[in-house]
């Protein structure tokens, strides 16, 4: 039972995050939140894997550092988009426009 929770829960979390990412494409903020949820489930999966096989947990700290950098980059893009266009709708701006 514990093995099912350790391996099944992160995969279920990842699939739910991917489903939310696919179904919510109107706002940039909701897409960024679903991407962070997927990264969190990957971190949980990595943490469980490293603990089961008795490896060091330093790689999980490096993974967390990169995921925080990814989140900050996404928020900076969101802030710049809101300053330029006034909202975070994908339909409000033209990609072909310079």
Per the listing, tokens 């701006």 go with 93
The better pLDDT of the pair 2, 42 is held by 42
Identify any residues that bridge with 89 across adjacent strands, giving them in sequence order.
27
The better pLDDT of the pair 89, 35 is held by 35
Domains by residue range for the chain, with CATH = 2-92 (1.10.287.3510)
Q: What is the pLDDT of residue 19?
A: 93
**In the chain, count of helices (H) and strands (E)?**
3, 0
**Residue range 32-87, pLDDT digits in tens:** 999 999 999 999 999 888 888 888 888 888 999 999 999 999 999 889 888 887 88
Residue 30 CB neighbours (<10 A): 15
Q: Which sign does the torsion angle of CA 42, 43, 45, 50 carry?
A: positive
How far apart, in whole angstroms, are the C-alpha atoms of residue 81 and residue 87? Answer: 7
How far apart, in whole angstroms, are the C-alpha atoms of residue 82 and residue 86? Answer: 5
Q: What is the pLDDT of residue 93?
A: 63
Reported confidence tier of residue 1, pLDDT bands at 50, 70, 90: low
């Amino acid at each position: 039972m514990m093995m099912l929770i350790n391996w099944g829960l992160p995969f279920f979390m990842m699939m739910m995050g991917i489903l939310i990412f696919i179904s919510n494409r109107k706002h940039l903020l909701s897409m960024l939140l679903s991407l962070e949820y997927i990264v969190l489930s990957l971190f949980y999966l990595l943490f469980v894997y490293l603990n089961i096989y008795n490896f060091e947990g330093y790689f999980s700290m490096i993974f967390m550092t990169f995921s925080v950098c990814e989140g900050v980059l996404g928020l900076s893009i969101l802030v710049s988009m809101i300053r330029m266009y006034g909202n975070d709708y994908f339909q409000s701006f033209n990609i072909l426009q310079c």
